[in-house]
Amino acid sequence: SDMGGLKNLVANTDYLKAQSLDEKEIKKRRCSLGLPHLGNCTDVRASVSKGFEDICEQQPIGRACFRQFLSVSSPEYLAAAELLDELNCWNLAEAEAKEEARLNIINKFCKADSKSFLAFLTEDEAEKCKAVSEKDFEEVMMGQVKEATQKFLRGQPFEEYQTSLFFDRFVQWKKFEKQPITDKYFYEFRTLGKGGFGEVCGVQVKTTGQMYACKKLDKKRLKKKSGEKMALLEKKILEMVNSLFIVNLAYAFDTKTHLCLVMTLMSGGDLKYHIFHVGEVGIEMERIIHYTAQITSGILHLHSMDIVYRDMKPENVLLDCQGQCRLSDLGLAVELPNGKTTTQKAGTKGYMAPEILKQEPYRTSVDWWALGCSIYEMVAGRVPFRDHKEKVAKEELLRRTLEDEVKFEHRNFDAPSKDIISLFLKRNIEDRLGSNDDPRKHEFFKSINFPRLEAGLIPPPWEPKANVVYAKDTGDIREFSDVKGVKFDANDEKFFKEFSTGAVPIAWQQGMIDSGLFDELSDPNRKESAAGLEDE
Ligand code: ADP
Ligand code: MG
Ligand code: MG
């Protein structure tokens, strides 16, 4: 309604105002921050992981500290680090830039007299490196030479790093990361949506100014509806995930009344809203291809960790303020190690694969089926076996899903979209796209450079307008009524504690880097704050 629209507009303006009002305050807080003193970090030092991959590659601040150590320790270490950086750039570069990057690498690293020659290579590796040609560049450099460089860094340099000042710095950051988190750590803004156990609202980290979405789960409601196990499972799965195409968890904490999941803020609306309520029904093909490429990468990331999503549908795909999308709501996801299957009925009507409906054993195949239904819906404004808002009996939907031919009547279908949808909608699991072949190789994606997409380098085809709320009547979201007659026992307290683990390392560290705080606090001229971490 119009009133809803007006309410949205007002709510949105308020939300922006709150943001700019606090800018000064945030600056003040940032200036008073300091890393904790090393003397207070012995507990954390003892518990920090000793795995190279974990602390020097995966954790963003760990990687940055190790990289700083390599830069200043020896020309040989520096050359190794720079080679890996430049190979990465080459891998992501396009056309002329790629050619330039290749020539640079050869001149800098592959000539016997170059300053940065890789002295740690074995004789055999060095010969290959020197003889590298345009044709075998990828094979030699991304293969043997890259592996030899990584192996070198894992040895002596990694040993030395762990007794260096740079590692001390990393330990201080780990201590900072492990500080207890409460609701005082955030400013709270307006409600963004409503979930089964509470609202989702915008929050801002007081110290960095970063914005997130906070999904609040009412403790009493959870207990009353026995949702605790599900909530913990969702949190544990979110915590494992680290992808540009899935909402990432940054913090998990609790208040007296709520469990809170602080996640990537997605303020551009969900794809269902974009299909049905923005412009004509459906989405333009160029956008569908971009979103589907991102969704496919997100699903592959989940599957690579043996997680089956089970709730793929446009409604669960959210856009951020720039127009990039991510999968959200992992409440139905399950971890199923390779070889393990389930027959549990889970998913949303209209998107469930035949194997789920027939209660046959399934694993990751169901996500590809649901993706086929979702692409179909983005084009046609309806799912393959059900008209939009059509009332269909369960038995009839089952019959159609198992028997009916998929019809592509809408004029917006083209040959590649029809083909990829048909392949995702193969009833036989073995024949389905995604079961044996990589969907990213399908011609539907011929315009997408996946390494660049997966590095976040492809701009979105469409950008949400800053002054529009892409949601139905957010003004309508009412407070939840009070749940009565629920008392907590020791078991509940144990569960709350297991849930409230504070900052999630990779997301938190990335936040420190993106917000500039990592550079600010790493500045050797900055005086260590006497206040340390103590906030307020
Ligand atoms: P539930 O599992 O209880 O359904 P969801 O995770 O689906 O909860 O979240 C409920 C609603 O909150 C969503 O439909 C969406 O409108 C909004 N929402 C969820 N996550 C985010 C996010 N990361 N950014 C912005 N809005 C979100
Ligand atoms: Mg939901
Ligand atoms: Mg859910």
Catalytic residue numbers? 311
Of the candidates 32, 100, 72, 105, the one whose C-alpha atom is nearest the C-alpha of residue 527 is 32
172 is written with which tokens?
């201080």
Which residues hold their Cβ within 5 A of ligand 3, which is an ion? Answer: 329, 331
Pick the ligand that lies closest to the CA of residue 201: 1
Q: Indicate if ligand 1 lies below 6 Å from the C-beta of 247.
A: yes
What is the per-residue pLDDT for 2? 44
* Ligand 1 pocket test, candidate residues 188, 191, 192, 476, most atoms within 8 A of CB: 192
- What are 69's two structure tokens? 């150590």
CB of 439 closer than 6 A to ligand 1?
Answer: no
Burial 141-162 (b: 16+ CB within 10 A, else e): beebbeebbeebbeeebbebbb
pLDDT per position in the chain (536 positions), as tens? 344 444 554 555 455 555 555 677 778 888 888 899 999 999 999 999 999 999 999 999 999 999 999 999 999 999 999 999 999 999 999 989 999 999 999 999 988 888 788 989 999 999 999 999 989 999 999 999 999 999 999 999 999 999 999 999 999 999 999 999 999 999 888 888 888 899 999 999 988 888 999 999 999 999 999 999 999 999 999 999 999 999 999 999 999 999 999 999 999 999 999 999 999 999 999 999 999 999 999 999 999 999 999 999 999 999 999 999 999 999 999 999 988 999 999 999 999 999 999 999 999 999 999 999 999 999 999 999 999 999 999 999 999 999 999 999 999 999 999 999 999 999 999 999 999 999 999 999 999 999 999 999 999 999 999 888 888 765 555 566 788 889 999 999 999 999 999 999 999 999 999 989 999 998 777 765 544 444 43
Query: Cα-flanking dihedrals φ and ψ of residue 194, to 5°?
Result: -125, 135
Cα→Cα distances 236→219, 248, 251, 494, 502, Å: 17, 11, 12, 16, 13
Nearest to 340 by CA among 363, 356, 322: 363
| CB-count exposure of residue 340 (10 Å: 0-12, 13-18, 19+) | exposed
Spacing, Cα 231 to ligand 2 middle (Å): 13
pLDDT of residue 116: 85
Q: What is the dihedral of CA 182, 184, 185, 190, to 10 degrees?
A: 110
Tell which atom from ligand 1 comes closest to the C-alpha of 217: 3
* CA 121–ligand 1 middle distance (angstroms): 51
> Do 517 and 31 form a contact (C-beta atoms < 8 A)?
no
Q: Is the pTM of this model over 0.90?
A: yes
Ligand 1 atom with minimal separation from the 329 CA: 6
Instruction: Compute the distance from residue 331 Cα to the ligand 3 centre, in Å.
Output: 4
Using alpha carbons only, how large is the chain's radius of gyration in Å? 26
To test ligand 1's pocket by mutation, which of 190, 200, 311, 473 has the most ligand atoms within 8 angstroms of CB? 200
**Ligand 1 in reach of 249 Cβ (< 6 A):** no
User: Of ligand 1's atoms, which has the minimum distance to the CA of residue 264?
Assistant: 23
Cβ pair 266, 247 in contact under 8 A: yes
ipTM score of the complex?
A: 0.98
The 3-class SS string of 465-496 reads CCCCCCCCCHHHCCCCCCCCCCCCCHHHHHHH
Question: Can you tell me the distance from the alpha carbon of 281 to that of 254, in angstroms, rounded to the nearest whole number?
Answer: 41
